[in-house]
Amino acid sequence: VSEASSDTPSRALAILKDIFGYPAFRGLQAEVITHIAGGGDCLVLMPTGGGKSLCYQIPALLRDGVAVVVSPLIALMQDQVAALHEAGVRAAFLNSSMTQAEAAAVERGMLTGMHNLIYVAPERLLTSRFLDLLSRTHLSLFAIDEAHCVSQWGHDFRPEYIQLSILHKRFPNVPRIALTATADNVTREEIVERLGLNGARIFISSFDRPNIRYQIVDKVNGRAQLLDFIRAEHDGDAGIVYCLSRRKVEETAAWLVGKGIRALAYHAGMGAPDRSRNQEQFLRVDGVVMVATIAFGMGIDKPDVRFVAHLDLPKSVEGYYQETGRAGRDGQAATAWMAYGLGDVVQQRRMIESSEAEPQFKRVASAKLEALLALCESTTCRRVRLLGYFGESSTSSACGNCDVCLNPPQVWDGTVAAQKALSCVFRTDQRFGAGHLIDVLRGNETGRVTQWGHDKVSTFGIGKELDEKTWRAVFRQLAALGLLAADVEGHGSLHLTAASRAVLNGSQAVPLRLQPERKKTSARTGSA
Ligand code: ADP
Ligand code: ZN
């Protein structure tokens, strides 16, 4: 068999053209394919839409035997196998959606070499019966898709993935390729360690998605801002709107429909028929806006999603990157838009603190949240920050295609404002939320202010020089900077932290960012 021969690259290119119908490889695809076709192990880090599937599909056709692809999602398997069939490739999947007779037929086909690729869920692969079957099968390679599912600290953790290291022990001569779009160092090291990939080559693509314009706005009224954004920049376009809760998904979808937007809902609490009907519509009908929880998206291959919007803060930069990465997979101009406010900071912190998780998990979760908050509050190019997070520090010049580059925020000395805000929190006994505190600072004699006697405290009316919107931005940033914390019960009341003292006694300055009024720019000008 000519597995490691020198004509591998030209044979791979022929398969790319003849079977998949593409003229050229992208990025690192050719290198990865040559490596794995030659029998080497590897870990491939490529952004969503980067073209990971061909990295194992083509070697599967170059090598003799059956390629076994481990994939965590049934929907993803089915789509991939359907696409392979269309291209004329012999592929099949094994999962819990099929009858025993169907599964038995596929398994018999494995032994007789009927398939080039078999997609299988990890829990099935790990049964002793299936491992036994594998030992009687002529195998070409193992592909482990969504390899970050081994990471205990990620939100896609699948306990079965950890046991996939058994593949190497049982079948040491079968090459393995692990693939993921999650690229931070910690996850990378975890994958190598848990899958026993020491000595494997690591291929890392650039994570830059130059056609995506990043835009993070101060949240005032999230859904109204969303509607303005869609109407101004993406009227009639397909998009995804992410919300944290199922209820908010439904309310937002219904509200958008009432405003004439063709919106649908998707979350894990809906019945399977409704979910798949909405997903089908999103895929087949032009210009549908899918309002969804993060249950939606993994494995969705729709190239012309023109925008991804977040009405709530994701949990981490990885989450933000993965979710926004679903926009513009066709390479045309697309927007990643997010509205973010004090409530988001408070809510995410509370979710971490009140979770039952172990302390170490909470520390990791907090650190991940802090990194995302730093991205939200960034006064320098968002893309440079984002790529820096993934270890791409070479990308150091401003991108010209994010809100910070296009419309730079003003940085002002917020020290005095911060001192006023913090002393107002203190003078009102650390029991109130930002809305009330802003009323006190601005000297608004609301019923609540007089009822609590807050028109008599020394901080009443000392903040008239700033408008309400600016004060909101001040409180949000104080929370993001850890200078204020919210109560765990969820009433939104703010209290001082250990770090507040240095600001109050004047030993620490507080530079703050101020979002300028939006310039009327057209999103449609600079295309990719
Ligand atoms: P990933 O799994 O990395 O998110 P996919 O493998 O699903 O990405 O590929 C994303 C899209 O790009 C698919 O529509 C795929 O057919 C297409 N694609 C992949 N490689 C190439 C290539 N070399 N040339 C053109 N299109 C490609
Ligand atoms: Zn930029």
pLDDT at 276: 92
* Local confidence pLDDT in tens for the 528 residues of the chain: 445 578 899 999 999 999 999 989 988 999 999 999 999 999 999 987 788 999 999 999 999 999 999 998 887 888 899 999 999 999 999 988 889 999 999 999 999 999 999 999 999 999 999 999 999 999 999 999 999 999 877 767 888 999 999 999 999 999 999 999 887 788 889 999 999 998 999 999 888 899 999 999 999 999 999 999 999 999 999 999 999 999 999 999 999 999 999 999 999 999 999 999 999 999 999 999 999 999 898 767 788 999 999 999 999 998 899 899 999 988 899 999 999 999 999 999 889 988 888 888 888 888 889 899 999 999 889 999 998 887 777 666 899 999 999 999 989 999 999 999 999 999 999 999 999 999 999 999 999 999 999 999 999 999 999 999 899 999 989 988 889 988 877 677 899 999 999 999 999 999 999 877 765 444 444 333
Q: What pLDDT score was predicted for residue 528?
A: 34
Q: What torsion, rounded to 10 degrees, do the Cα atoms 510, 484, 319, 94 define?
A: 160
Ligand 2 center–CA 227 separation, angstroms: 24
Ligand whose nearest atom lies closest to the CA of 213: 2
Site to probe by mutation for ligand 1, drawn from 29, 44, 54 as the one with most ligand atoms within 8 Å of Cβ, is 54
From edge to edge, which strands make up the β-sheet containing 307-310?
A: 212-218, 334-340, 307-310, 239-242, 289-292, 263-266
What pLDDT does 365 receive? 87
Cβ atoms of 145 and 52 closer than 8 Å: yes
Strands (DSSP E) contained in 114-237 are 117-120, 139-144, 176-180, 201-204, 212-218
Confidence (pLDDT) at 527: 37
Which among 353, 476, 484 is positioned nearest to 430, based on CA atoms? 484
**Residue entry with tokens 């099935």:** 124
User: How far, in Å, from the CA of 387 to the mean position of ligand 2?
Assistant: 11
Q: Which atom of ligand 1 is closest in space to residue 29's alpha carbon?
A: 23
CA of 90 to the centre of ligand 1 (A): 19
Q: Residue 285 C-alpha to ligand 1 middle, in angstroms?
A: 21
233, 74 in Cβ contact below 8 A?
Answer: no
Pocket perturbation via mutation, ligand 1, pick of 45, 52, 53 by most ligand atoms within 8 A of CB? 53
Q: Are 66 and 140 in contact (CB under 8 A)?
A: yes
Q: What pTM was computed for the model?
A: 0.75
The pLDDT value recorded for residue 48 is 76
Residue ranges around ligand 1 (CB below 6 Å)? 22, 25-26, 29, 46, 48-54, 301, 303, 329
Q: H-helix or E-strand containing 109?
A: helix 100-111
Q: What is the DSSP letter of 340?
A: E
Q: Whose CA is nearest to atom 19 of ligand 1?
A: 51
Could you tell me the distance, in angstroms and rounded to a whole number, from the CA of residue 339 to the centre of ligand 2? 17
Q: Which residue reads 């190598």 in tokens?
A: 192
Tell me, in angstroms, the distance from the centre of ligand 1 to residue 331's CA: 11
> Sign of torsion, CA 150 156 157 160?
negative
Specify the pairing of strand 263-266 against strand 289-292.
parallel
Radius of gyration over every alpha carbon of the chain, rounded to an integer in angstroms: 26
